[in-house]
Amino acid sequence: MLSIIFGFITGLAGPISAVINNITDLKKVKAKAESDKEIKEINLQIEEAHDKKAILLAMVGNRILTAVYAFILIGVSVPVLAILNKIGYDKTIGSLYGCAGDIPLKMREFCRINFHTDSIDPNMWWVIFAVVSLVTLHATFRNKV
């Protein structure tokens, strides 16, 4: 029953129920079989159907795990990207408005309001470094393992 629920979540409910129905039909045919040769052939077909079901269930687990991993990766990466984008925005766009180097007195308030980034704690820089490194490693080796 749990496989059907997860099948609906991942979009594999149709193939899973088709395989389960196939197994049920094969068991009915097996009960009506008359010779040992027919029973052996039906047993092989049932084994093959069970293998297909196992593969589909593994795909369900893989899709769910991939979705969970993607949400975690996004949840960790978005705050770091926001911080780095804010710093980049303040440094690049702020310099275009004259908010870099020696700032004229009349521009100081404008620059402080619009292009000021609070200093980031050294520990936070280590967190940013760790997240960027892990995301880079993931992107590099995701298909290698």
Examine the pLDDT at 61 and tell me if it is beyond 60. Answer: yes
Mean pLDDT along residues 62-86: 84
- Give the torsion through C-alpha atoms of 134, 136, 138, 144, to 10 deg: -140
Listed range (50-54, 120-124, 125-129) with the worst mean pLDDT: 50-54
Domain count, the chain: 1
Domain span including residue 23: 2-141
Question: Which range is least confidently modeled, 9-18, 65-74, 119-128, 130-139?
Answer: 9-18
